[in-house]
Amino acid sequence: MSLTTDDVNKIAYLARLGINAQDTESYTANLSNMLNLVAEMSSVNTDNVAPMAHPFDTTQRLRPDQITEGNQRDNFQAIAPQVEEGLYLVPKVLD
Amino acid sequence: MQWETVIGLEIHAQLSTKTKIFSAASTAYGAEPNTQACAVDLGLPGVLPVLNQEAVRMAVKFGMAIEAEIADYSVFARKNYFYPDLPKGYQISQMDHPIVGVGHLDIEVEGQTKRIGVTRAHLEEDAGKSLHESFHGSTGVDLNRAGTPLLEIVSEPDMRSAKEAVAYMRKIHELVQYLDISDGNMQEGSFRCDVNISLRPKGQEEYGTRAELKNINSFKFVEKAIYTEVERQKEILEAGGSITQETRLYDADKDETRSMRSKEEANDYRYFPDPDLLPVFISPELRAQVKADLPELPEAKKQRFVTDYKLEAETANNLASSRPLADYFEALVKSSGCAAKICSNWVCVELSGALNKQNLSISQSPIDSDRLAQLLQRIADNTISGKIAKQVFEAMWSSQDSADTIIEAQGLKQITDSGAIEAIIDKIIANNPGQVEQYLSGKDKVFGFFVGQTMKASQGKANPGEVNKILQDKLRL
């Protein structure tokens, strides 16, 4: 399977990645190669194999419902680019 | 053409755990911004989610209450989208293996019972809150809510009217509170709803194209939004147009729905299993434990109230619709020893009325069931009349005093001593010869005048039965 440069641009958009136009060709080739590898794996007959949701064959450990995290706002906000009244500020967004 | 409305609901109920679904930060409402957002909630690099067992237990509890299949094996998936109140760039949700499978719930509309299918219910995390006002062109983000556990309950498209949709929503609302898995607080956003609506010509099997109305947080708005959206779709279809599958927003101020996103930018969420979380295994022990803890459900309680207390179906329904209210009623019956009918009357009429007036819930009632029980006992043992009891009730409402203290202090004890009543009546007869004349000449209605005067003279304290008896004796002469 091979991707087109349009596919790559769409993937980049969905991932919110800015890519250089000159790199699109090489990304297209590399991503196509990965898909080819997946296609090769797909050719293996897995009819009687249940899909795994995780490579580890074990189950999730659960946590008791107890508050152990305190307020560390000042520490976290010290590395934030912009804060005001305890809020993180980001460029204006409206959905 | 006759159209049939087809409605399905997706309800988000915030689970009342102490901590978030994947972090040990508090979920308490109303804290200072970002003081309850830890490294996991902020999506900082290198952190890992650890699932809250209480959230799992609550989801299983809900599943059992709607007689749903509970998955042995459940998987968390990433739903990818970009928005500043979702710092990881994905929401952890469930896709292929939700924790709760197919179940059902019965609703009642206009005396008819209808079964509504529940397709699934899954666990997911809530996003933070964006504040768009007053940050000089920027958006402020509060991540306290990020990571709060939600149970998304998806119904089958089984509802055919706004009334049915609201009845179903109310039933789920009642149920999650009953199970003690959500506070159901709609003002605080703990319970909200997306509505899928489509129309089809009556008799047609196939569903029409649907529109989704997002995030409605009141029963009234759900009903209004459905009416408005149905009218919009009908107009388009009858003009020969077609409905666009899209997400719409209901604007309550304008009473209209409008498009949120156009089709070209339809979201591509790229779901995939979250590699940070292993599959969840629901053990037989957990199932057994949850099953043992399951409270009596509203429907069963209602039936029991009708059978055991001989209440009318409507009253039983009223009382059973809220667990604290039902508990209050039963505690009252038990501690007062009075007839269930009298207890239910006081709870449904006097108490509920007074609570509604001040917008209080039953758990905030200034009069607890023990205090009210004493009041009812005083009616039962003829210390006071039902009318005076209402006066005592009002006094109890605004003080901490017991019924007995108030009756004593205000001298409200009923006069059952016939000698005392006789003395009052003699005086009234002597003072109103005109009315006595009228009565004796056959005007029976005047009798009421004498009863009224006697009650007034006794400040309502004379035993009404006694008054009637004595008056009849005296006026017969």
Of A14, A62, A95, the CB nearest to B270: A14
Comparing A79 with A50, the larger pLDDT belongs to A79
Structural domain includes residue A88: no
**CB B306, CB B74: distance < 8 Å:** no
User: Residue B10 above 60 pLDDT?
Assistant: yes
Half-sphere exposure of A75 (CA within 13 A, CB side): 9
Contacts A–B by Cβ distance under 8 A: 127
* Confidence (pLDDT) at B432: 85
As a dihedral over the C-alpha atoms of residue B235, residue B239, residue B244, residue B250, rounded to 10 degrees, the angle is -20
Structural domain includes residue A64: no
* Confidence (pLDDT) at B420: 80
**CB B126, CB B152: distance < 8 Å:** no
Residues 179-238, chain B, touching A (beta carbon < 8 A): none
* Residue range B97-134, pLDDT digits in tens: 999 999 999 998 988 999 999 999 999 999 999 988 77
b/e sequence A21-51, b meaning 16+ C-beta within 10 Å: eeebeebbeebbeeeeeeeeeeeeeeeeeee
Domain tally for chain A? 1
Structural domain includes residue A60: no
Structural domain includes residue A37: yes
A44 Cβ contact partners less than 8 Å away, ≥ 6 residues apart: none
Structural domain includes residue A84: no
Structural domain includes residue A58: no
Question: Mean pLDDT throughout B413-432?
Answer: 81
* Residue range A65-84, pLDDT digits in tens: 999 999 999 999 999 999 99
What ipTM did this prediction achieve?
Answer: 0.80
User: Residue B157 above 90 pLDDT?
Assistant: yes
E strand or H helix that includes residue B193: strand B191-201
Question: Which pTM value belongs to this model?
Answer: 0.80
* Confidence (pLDDT) at B270: 87
**Cβ–Cβ contact A95 with B under 8 A:** yes
**CB B131, CB B140: distance < 8 Å:** yes
Least confident of B12-21, B174-183, B250-259: B250-259
* Confidence (pLDDT) at B263: 47
Q: Is B148 left (phi over 0), alpha (psi -120 to 50) or beta?
A: beta
Nearest partner of B241 among B209, B213, B263, B266, judged by Cα: B209
Comparing B265 with B243, the larger pLDDT belongs to B243
A33 Cβ contact partners less than 8 Å away, ≥ 6 residues apart: none
DSSP-H helix ranges across B121-218:
162-178
**Cβ–Cβ contact A88 with B under 8 A:** yes
The confidence band for A52, taking pLDDT boundaries of 50, 70 and 90, is: confident
Structural domain includes residue A11: yes
* Residue range B186-227, pLDDT digits in tens: 988 899 999 999 999 999 999 999 999 988 989 999 999 999
* Confidence (pLDDT) at B63: 97
Contact B82 A16 (CB under 8 A): yes
Nearest partner of A86 among B143, B147, B34, judged by Cα: B34
What percentage of chain A exceeds 70 in pLDDT? 97
Q: Is the dihedral of CA B205, B210, B216, B220 positive or negative?
A: negative
Distance CA B13, CA B151 (A): 5
Question: Mean pLDDT throughout B328-351?
Answer: 93
* Confidence (pLDDT) at B426: 84
Domain that holds residue A35: 5-41
- The chain A residue lying nearest B270, using CA atoms, is A14
Structural domain includes residue A17: yes
* Residue range B52-97, pLDDT digits in tens: 999 999 999 999 999 999 999 999 999 998 889 999 999 999 999 9
